[in-house]
Structure 1
Amino acid sequence: MAELRTLARPYAKAAFQAAQDQQQLADWSELLTLAGQIAANAVVRQLLANPGMAETRKAELILEVTEKSVSEPIRNFFMVLAENRRLALLPEIAALFNTYRADLERTVDIEVTAAFELTEEQQQKLAQALSTKLDRKVSLAASMDKSLIGGVVVRTGDLVIDASVRGKLTKLADALGS
């Protein structure tokens, strides 16, 4: 995984720079995310690994499947990926591109898992508190997991805040066991 990310980084940076120069971050993001999802499909991965098919044809097929009209710079980007046999990196390139975009726009996606269903008001209050704490605009996705017993678990990137009863019981058990 880390190796793929390392290989994908220069392509993601180049795509991000091109998108910024053209002021088309949203268009590039949407297409790269979609192309990344397509390239992650098991059947498409086999197609990308097929040495009998021309690399440029593989890029054209991915672009066709997206069903989006693409600008010349985007098409050129996909052709460069194809020429360098890097189309399989599309999922990683898309993830890195979206990370760069979120950093630029100062946004963050947060997953909140609670032991109970959060009301809209609770979600708004939590998003507001996290927005203040992280100094970013927060996009919150809430889910429910009764095994938490009580409380919430907040995840974003590398940050995990475990304020669940299950998490506290686990910490207590670890402390007592050592």
Structure 2
Amino acid sequence: MSLDLRTVADRYAKAVFELASEQGQLDAVHEELTSIKAVFEANPNLAKMLTGVKLSLDQKKSLIEALKSDASQLVSNLIQMVFDYGRMNIMVVIIDEFERRYDQQNKRVHADVVTAVQLDEPRRAQLRQNLLTRYGAKEIVLHETVDESILGGVIVTAEHKTLDGSLKSKIEQIRRLLIK
């Protein structure tokens, strides 16, 4: 019986999270894993190359050594184990699962924010404060996008919920009420 990739990734992430926590290295490991994730995102074919047949074993080992070059022992061991078991295709998923645990422990919420215009600093700070209160978080990480089609207001998606305060959706609501 084979396990799905998310389950496998969660097991790796849980093990690394618990070890990093026990060793008091949680923040450092989080930072390292975030950097490694950035490497995979900047090189979208890297995981495929490390699990595929196009590269020789020596070429793959050289890429793995480059990934491990500045890593702590814990992160280096993770990379090596994931490579040895032929699971480099789920490295980003492992890191995502680790980050989910890290965020949960640190009461950190990621929020996707869509506005019609770029937020200035006072509005960004106010939005962040409102979201801190709403979600009971210690930290809010905003991922901002500008979409002029919403006309005004803001759409926030966080914790699997969407708060739509856009002018476009309010106009739609009024339009539906008038059509009835």
| Structure-2 separation of matches of 1:34 and 1:59 | 19
Equivalent residues, number? 174
Are residue 43 (structure 1) and residue 56 (structure 2) matched? Answer: no
User: Which secondary structure does the structure 2 equivalent of 1:118 belong to?
Assistant: coil
Cα distance in 1, alignment partners of residues 61 and 177 from structure 2: 54
Q: In structure 1, what is the equivalent of residue 145 of structure 2?
A: 143
Give the match for residue 13 of structure 2. 12
- Give the Å deviation of 1:119: 2.1
- The 5-angstrom pairing of residues 79-98 of structure 1 reads 79-98=80-99
Task: Return the offset for 1:15.
Answer: 1.1
TM-score, with length taken from structure 1: 0.81
Task: Work out whether residues 64 and 80 of structure 2, in 8 Å CA contact, stay in contact via their aligned partners in 1.
Answer: no
Shift of residue 171, structure 1, vs aligned partner: 5.0
Q: Which residues of structure 2 form unaligned runs of 5+?
A: none
Matched with 1:64 is 66
CA drift at 1:78? 1.7
2:140 aligned counterpart, secondary structure: strand
> TM (normalized to structure 2)?
0.80
Partner of 2:125: 124
Structure 1 unaligned spans of 5+ = none
Q: CA RMSD of the aligned region, Å?
A: 2.7
Supply the distance in 2 between the matched residues of 1:115 and 1:73 (Cα, whole angstroms).
Answer: 44
Task: Report percent identity of matched pairs.
Answer: 26
Q: Kindly tell me: are residues 173 and 45 of structure 1, through their superposed partners in 2, closer, same or farther at Cα, counting changes over 3 Å?
A: farther
**1:79-98 C-alpha deviation (Å, 9 max, x unpaired):** 22122211111111111111
Question: Does structure 2 conserve the Cα–Cα contact (< 8 Å) formed by 1:130 and 1:138?
Answer: yes
